[in-house]
Structure 1
Amino acid sequence: MTDRLHQFKIGEWVDIIPSTLRSAAPGRYQIVRLIPCDSNEPRYCIRSTNEKHDRVVPEHDLRRAEEAVV
């Protein structure tokens, strides 16, 4: 699925912007699915190798990873 409103693509590596309202595993997350825009902001399903579950987060909570993950 592609959506021109989404800034990130499936398979891309991102970091979650730290927040006191959310506890998230440290490290990189991979975009595994684009959530259709039904609100004002695109959302993503992301996965970390350090967690056993996926997360759904809004775009403003993500930033592009600075270095590639192998």
Structure 2
Amino acid sequence: MPPKHRYTVGQHIEFVPGRYDGSAPPGAYTVVRQLPNDAADREYRVKNSRDGHERIIRESQMRQSAAVFG
């Protein structure tokens, strides 16, 4: 059985891109959707809190955020 998603829809997270993740800006994002996959590194659609752009990132690129967004 594949592992469950660690983060929930609506949760605020911190995106921490790796050196090969292109120009995606790090920082505050909100989880929009949990994406289905069978890999151990779960995927999510997230929305940038500043520019509103959405992107797909892996759980290994996410950190729990203590910030509260308005």
Gaps of 5+ in 2: none
User: May I ask how many residue pairs the two structures share in their alignment?
Assistant: 67
Residue 69 of structure 1 is matched in structure 2 by 69
Name the TM-score, length of structure 1 as normaliser: 0.78
Report the alpha carbon displacement of residue 24 of structure 1 after superposing the two structures with TM. Answer: 2.1
Unaligned runs of 5+ in 1: none
4+ residue segments displaced more than 6 Å: none
2:17/2:26 contact within 8 Å kept: no
Q: Which amino acid in structure 2 is aligned with residue 39 of structure 1?
A: A
Give 2:58's aligned residue.
58
Aligned pair in 2 of structure 1 residues 17, 68: CA closer, same or farther (>3 Å)?
A: same
Range with bigger deviation, 18-27 or 4-13: 18-27
> What is the correspondence of 1:1-70 to structure 2 with a 5 Å cutoff?
5-22=4-21, 23-70=23-70
State the TM-score, normalized to the length of structure 2: 0.78
Contact 1:25 1:51 in 2 (8 A): no
In 1, distance between residues paired with 2:24 and 2:33?
18
